[in-house]
Homo-oligomer: A and B are copies of this chain.
Amino acid sequence: MRIAKILGTLGLVAAMAIGANAAEKKVKWKLAMTWGPTLTPFTTAVENMAKMVETMSGGDFVIRIDAANKHKAPFGVLDMVKLGQYEMAHSASYYWKGKDVNLLPFSTMPFGMTAPEQYAWFYHGGGMELMEKAYAPHNMLSFPGGNTGNQMGGWFRKEIKSLDDLKGLKMRIPGFAGEVLAKLGLTVTNIAPGELYTSLERGTIDALEWVGPGMDIKMGFHKIAPYYYTGWHEPATELQFLVNKKEFDKLSDKNKEILRVAMRLASYDMYIENYHMSTDAWASIATEYPNIKIKTFPKEVLDAMKKANDELLADMAKDQPLLKEILDSQKAYLTKSRAWTEMSDYLYLKDNL
């Protein structure tokens, strides 16, 4: 009896020691999003990723998610991960152009690759290696974090029939695409999301771009702008997971793989979720607002956009060997993969619309 009791006590001690050991090994990370807490499907991608990590690790690896309303620095997340204030972030690489021009091309490029082409470039065409190279000076790793698919060219209050119709037009279109349009004579502005609807309704702006039907529908633009132009500037916008490299290196092999797999799956899954959201939203807009017209820009306009885009990029890459290397790699892969896209999905769709 006594020996059994001792054994029992010692067993308990052993179990407590093991418990303590497990608690020590428990990894707790924080992730900062550029977005607010309800921006579906961007936030879904992050939530799904964190949930997968927690369940697959049996609760040993948990990631707390802070939305922008919590950390108050939507465009500060790069620096916060760099400084180790957050182990991770969820954002988009093209937001960092002003800090480091080499980070621009990893979201999407005007007249660039579609989603499957771009994923093939990332995972088999040298894209991940170039992204690693570009983020190395920032002591960070970057991973695909969810694709929006092809974004629409925007909502316009009047039809664009020629290049002249664009001159002086006031449009909300941020980022590099805005620079391209500015070269065509548009007045490009940025306006906070909450004021967009009123600005468009009152004519403070004549046009704006957001994402696509799945995310646009909540904004209500279809109620006040009858022309919905097809996309040219963001054919496959990939969001990104940013990871502090030092923190990543500290993870066990098992947790590294759990994180890698969860991020990669969350990224593809967001692409499909947004495909579904746009499918559903467009069906409902088209039914309730039958007067909305889907338009493509005239050839003259598209040609001018392409020319402005090429000129801006050539100028930007002039003294930037790494940027040039990335853009050249993308261009070469685009040419090669587009031939396959044309003979597969494109020609199939042409006969089946």
Contacts and interface: CB of A to CB of B under 8 A. Distances in A.
A55 B228 CA distance: 47
Interface in A6-32: 6-7, 10-11, 14-15, 18
Contacts of A345: 114, 149-150, 345, 349
Contact of A343 (B275, B280, B282): B282
A44 B337 CA distance: 21
A288 interface: no
Interface string A270-302: 011101101110110010000000101001001
B120 A279 contact: yes
Interface residues of A, number: 76
A119 B340 contact: no
A57 B280 CA distance: 37
A254 B56 contact: yes
Number of copies: 2
In this complex, which of A58, A150, A272, A343 has the most chain B Cβ atoms within 10 angstroms of its Cβ?
A343
A351 B153 CA distance: 13
A282 B342 CA distance: 11
Contacts of A273: 120, 123-124
Interface in A43-64: 52, 55-58
Contact of A344 (B120, B212, B254, B261): B212
Interface stretch (A92-100, A200-208, A229-237): A229-237
Given A10-B10, A282-B339, A341-B349, 15 more contacts: A10-B14, A18-B18, A55-B257, A116-B149, A116-B271, A117-B275, A149-B344, A150-B348, A261-B261, A264-B269, A265-B265, A265-B268, A279-B340, A338-B352, A342-B349
